[in-house]
Chains A and B, each alone.
Chain A
C-alpha cells in the first residue's frame, strides 16, 4: 500500500520517498533473518542428512558438509519400509481429503443457501464443535470403532472425513459461499437448475479459492495425523509415514543422518502440495472474519 504513505507532490513527496526507502530497508533487514529462521530446520536437516554418520556426532558441529553422502537418502528409504509408509499415507490422505472437501462443501452450501428448519442451530453446532477437544471424543470413538470391528483397518481414518469433513472446512465453505451474490443462484434457478446443479455447476467452480484452501488444510491434517493411526493401527506394514517416522525416531541415537533424510522425504509431498496451492490461500482465508461484518448479501 504505497499510496497510504505518499503525500502529493513537492518537498513533502521527496522526504516521503526517502522515508519509504528507509522503511523498505528496515523491512528487508527484519524479514531476511526471519525467513532464515523459518528455513533453518530444513537447511539443518538437509546438511545433516548428507553427512557421513561419524560426522554427525562431531563436536562442535560444522555448518557445512565436505563430502555429501547422497546414498544416505537411498539407505533411509530401504532400512525401514519408508516407501510402503509413503504409499499408505498417500492412500489414506487422498481418500480422506476427497471426502472432506466434497462433504464439507456440501454442508457449507446447505448452511449458506438452502432454507430449512434449524439451519441456524446447525451452524451453531458446527461452530461450537470446533471448541470440543479431540480428547473428549477420543475414547467413545475408539469404542464405537471397536464395536464396528474397524480396529486395524483404515476405516476409522477415512470414514469420518466423508461425514462432514471437519467443522473448520464447513465454516470456510459457508463463509465463502455467502460472499457470492445470490443473483447467481437466481439465474441458475430461472434456467431450471436444481439446488444440486446450482451447487455443482455454479457455486463450487466459483468457490475455487475455498476449495483449494480446504484441500490444502485437510491434506496437511491427514498427512501429518499421528494420534489416530497410532491408536487404530497395530500392524507396522499398514503404518502411514507419520507413525513410520516414529520408528526411526526411536533409533535417532543410532542413525541421526538417516532420520533427517527420512524426515525430509516425508515433507516433500506436503511442500509440493503447498507450492501448488499457495496462490489461492490468501483469498481462501480472507473470508474468515469472525467479526460479523456485513458480507455481500444476507440470505
Chain B
C-alpha cells in the first residue's frame, strides 16, 4: 500500500517496468482532479460538469467515476432489496425450497467471463431472447391498451441494451440482479436466527404481516443488511470484468468504470503507472467517502441484540 502511495506521487518513463521512476509530488492528483473553470458549458456536456464548475482536465476520470457511482448506487440497493425479498420468501422449510435456494445461488457462483459472454448474446437487440420476450409482451399489451387509449404499444422500441449509451447501464444492473444469490444466502441465515417467540408474541397481539416485518424481521436482520451493503458496494465499485469485456464504441464510454480506467491507464500505452496509482487512490478515497458515513450512522439503524 505504501508502495502504491509512493508510486502515485511519482512519474515513470513510459515503460512497463519498475525502473526510471522520478519524484513528481502531488502533480498526478492535481492533473487528475483539476477543473478548467474558463470552459463555457454546452448543453451536450454531462450534467455533472455544471456541479464541478467547468470542464475537467481529465474528463474520462469523471466519466468513469460517474459511471461507477451510478451503477453501484442503483444496482446495490436494488440487489439487496431483491435478495432480501427472495430470502424472506424461501427461508421456510417447505418442499422444494432447498432446490430453489440452490438454483438461485448458482448464478452468483457462475458469474465470470463465460456468463458475461452468454448475457451479452442474450441481450442482443435483434436475435436475443430478452428483446424477443419484450416485443411479445408489447404485442400482448397492445390488445389491452389500443382499445383504451387508441394508441398501440406494438411500435414501442425495445432497448438496444449494450449497444446504446443510455441502456448499457441498465443492462449491467440486470446482470447484477442475476448474481445476488450470495447476499440471499446470508439473509436466509440471518432470518433463521430470528427467535420464533417474537413472532408468536406478535401474533397474540394481533399484528399483521407488515407490522411483523417492520418491528421484528427488519430490526433483527439489520446486521446482515449492513454486512451485505458494505460487501456489495465494495465489490461493485471495483467491477472490472463487465466493463472490460462488454465495452463497445456505441456505448460512448457509458460503462467505462473506474477500475477499467485504472487498468487502461497502467497497462495500455503510454503505461502511466504513477498516474494509474493516483487514480486507484482516488477510487479508494471515494469508497471511503461512502463507507465511513454508513458505518458511523450504523449505530443508529443497526440493531445489536447484546448491545455490543
Q: Interface of A with B (CB < 8 Å)?
A: 1-5, 7, 24, 27-28, 30-31, 34-35, 37-42, 44-45, 48, 56-61, 63, 130-140, 142-144, 146-147, 216, 220, 223-224, 226-227, 231, 241-243, 245-246, 248-249, 252, 256, 259-260, 262-264, 266-267, 270-271, 274-275, 278, 281-282, 285-286, 288-294
Q: Mark B99-127, 1 if CB is under 8 A from A, else 0.
A: 01111111101111111011111100011
Q: List residues of chain A with CB within 8 A of the CB of B262.
A: 135, 138
Residues on B with beta carbons closer than 8 Å to the beta carbon of A136: 1, 4, 277, 280-281, 283-284
Task: Please judge, given known A-B contacts A35-B104, A45-B118, A245-B117, whether A134 and B306 are in contact too, CB under 8 Å.
Answer: no
Contacts of A266 in B (CB 8 A): 112-114
B18: min CB distance to chain A, Å: 4
- CB pair B121–A135 under 8 Å, yes or no, is no
A274 and B109 within 8 A (CB): yes
A34–B104 contact, CB under 8 A? yes
Chain B contacts for A37, CB-based, 8 A:
178
In the assembled complex, B189 has its CB within 8 A of some CB on chain A: yes
A63, A130, A224, A294: the one contacting B234 at CB < 8 Å is A130
A227's partner among B90, B263, B276 (CB-CB below 8 A) is: B263
Does B280 lie within 8 Å of A270, measured CB to CB? no
Is the CB of B7 closer than 8 A to any CB of chain A?
A: yes
Residue B145 at the A interface, CB < 8 A? no
Q: Which residue of B lies closest to A47 (CB)?
A: B129
Contact B308 A27 (CB under 8 A): no
Report chain B residues within 8 Å CB of A7. Answer: 203
Cβ contacts A to B, 16 pairs, < 8 Å: A1-B196, A31-B96, A45-B122, A57-B127, A58-B127, A63-B129, A131-B234, A133-B234, A135-B284, A136-B4, A136-B284, A139-B4, A216-B109, A224-B112, A226-B245, A291-B304
The answer to whether A139 touches B241, judged by C-beta atoms less than 8 angstroms apart, is: no
- CA A41 to CA B124, docked complex, whole Å: 12
A133→B287 contact, CB < 8 A: yes
Known: A40-B122, A136-B1. A270 touches B189 (CB 8 A): no
Which of A35, A248, A291 has a CB less than 8 Å from the CB of B117? A248
Task: Return A252 CB to nearest CB of chain B, in Å.
Answer: 7
Q: Please classify the interface of chain B as helix (H, G, I), strand (E, B), loop, or mixed, using the class held by over half of its residues.
A: helix
- CB atoms of B17 and A31 under 8 A apart: no
The answer to whether A224 and B135 touch (CB under 8 A), given A4-B196, A58-B127, is: no
- In the complex, are the beta carbons of B110 and A270 less than 8 A apart? yes
Out of A142, A246, A275, A281, which one reaches B185, CB within 8 Å? A281
- Please give the distance in Å from A17's CB to the nearest CB on chain B: 13
- Asked if residues A292 and B100 are in contact (CB atoms below 8 Å), the reply is no
Please report which residues of chain B, range 128-166, place their CB below 8 angstroms from some CB of chain A when the two chains form the complex. 128-129, 132, 135
A3, A40, A133 — most chain B CB neighbours (10 Å): A133
- Determine the chain A residues whose CB is within 8 A of the CB of B218 once the complex forms: none
Additional A-B contact list (8), CB under 8 Å, known A135-B259, A137-B4:
A35-B100, A42-B118, A59-B127, A60-B132, A133-B284, A245-B113, A252-B117, A294-B306
User: Within the complex, what minimum Cβ distance (angstroms) separates B261 from chain A?
Assistant: 9
Does B78 touch A at the CB level, under 8 Å? no
Q: CA–CA, A130 to B234, complex, Å? A: 9
- Interface contact A27-B92, CB-CB below 8 Å: yes
- Which of A38, A41, A224 lies in contact with B122, CB distance below 8 A? A41
Contact of B18 among A34, A134, A146, A249 (CB under 8 A): A146
Q: Which residues of A contact B94 (CB under 8 A)?
A: 2, 24, 27
- Given the complex, which residues of B lie within 8 Å of A59, measured CB to CB? 126-127
B70 in the interface (beta carbon within 8 A): no
A3: which B residues are within 8 A, CB to CB? Answer: 196
Q: Which residues of B contact A133 (CB under 8 A)?
A: 234, 237-238, 259, 280, 283-284, 287
Q: Are B93 and A267 in contact (CB under 8 A)?
A: no
Q: CA A4 – CA B195 in complex, angstroms? A: 10
B302 at the interface (CB under 8 A from A): yes
- Determine the chain A residues whose CB is within 8 A of the CB of B281 once the complex forms: 136
Segment 189-245 of B: residues with Cβ below 8 Å from A: 189-190, 192, 196, 199-200, 203, 223-224, 226-227, 234, 237-238, 240-241, 244-245
Closest-by-CB residue of B relative to A28 is B96
Central interface residue in A3, A28, A41, by most chain B CB within 10 Å: A41
Contacting pair A245 B241 (CB below 8 A): no
Whole-angstrom CA separation of A30 from B192 in the bound complex: 20
Q: Which residue of chain B is the closest to A223 with respect to CB atoms? A: B112
Q: How near does chain A come to B177, taking the closest CB pair, in angstroms?
A: 9
CA of A34 to CA of B226, assembled, Å: 25
Q: In the assembled complex, how far is the CB of residue B92 from the closest CB belonging to chain A, in whole angstroms? A: 6
Closest 7 CB pairs of A and B: A291-B223, A224-B112, A292-B308, A290-B227, A263-B114, A140-B3, A135-B280
